[in-house]
Every structure is written in structure tokens, then in C-alpha cells.
Amino acid sequence: KRSERGLPVLERELEKTTQKVMQLTSYQKDNEALKGEVAAQTAVIEGLRKERGLWSKELAEQGAQLSLERGTLQSEMERVTRLCEERRERVEQLTDTVRIKEQQLTDAMDTITKIKEHHQHKHKSRTRKENARCKDDNII
């Protein structure tokens, strides 16, 4: 009789143990799946860290290149500014020279005009005197 009573208890215990084994198996599967996810996420994180490192290196290189280009452009800008200033001064000198030459030309033209007028006046005066002499000579 004892063994008959013990059998249902053993069956219940066996069933409980079977459920626990099934639950443990499920937990192990979940654990393996979670380990896989963690490994995948760790790989992604490592990839992102490497990519960030590459970006940092690339940005540092670009920063150095931009700094070098800035220095070059600043130097070029200073050179062009000096050149513009030199050319502006040269234009001012040439403008002054042209004004002086223009004034000299105007003065020379005024002198020529005065000489011409004086010469014409003398010529007219001489012609009048000669005409007057001719009239006087013809009258006599």
C-alpha cells in the first residue's frame, strides 16, 4: 500500500522536475540568445568606437590642412593687399604726371596761341603799314 501511495507523489515530483527542466532549458535558450545580442551589440559598439577614432583622426588631419590653407590664404591676401597698395600709389603717381603734362601742354598751347596772335597782329600791322606806304607811293 505504501508504494501505491508513493507513486502519485513520485509522479507529481517527476512532473515538477520535468517542468523545471523544461523551464531551465528555456532559460538557457534565452540566455544564449541574450549572449548573442550582447555580443552583437558589443561588436557594433566596437565598430562605432573604431569609426569614431577614424573620424577623429580624419578631422584632426582636415583641421591641420585647413589651418595650413588658412595660413597660405592669409599670406596670399597680404601679398595681394601690398600689390594693390603699390599699384594704387603708382596710379596716383601716373595721375600726377598726367596732370603736370596736361598743364605743360595747356601752357605750351597758350604760349603758341599768344605767339600766333602776336605774329598775326604784327603781320597785320606790317601789311597795313605796307599798304599805307603803297598808297602813299601811288599818290605821289
pLDDT tier at 111, thresholds 50, 70, 90: very high
Task: Write down the mean pLDDT value for the chain.
Answer: 91
Dihedral angle of Cα 115, 117, 119, 120, to the nearest 10 degrees: 160
Q: What is the pLDDT of residues 24-44, one digit of tens each?
A: 999 999 999 999 999 999 999
What percent of the chain has pLDDT above 70? 92
Q: How far is CA 84 from CA 81, 107, 114, in A?
A: 5, 34, 44
Q: How far apart are CA 15 and CA 22, in angstroms?
A: 10
The number of residues making up the chain comes to 140
The yes-or-no verdict on residue 11 having pLDDT over 70 is yes
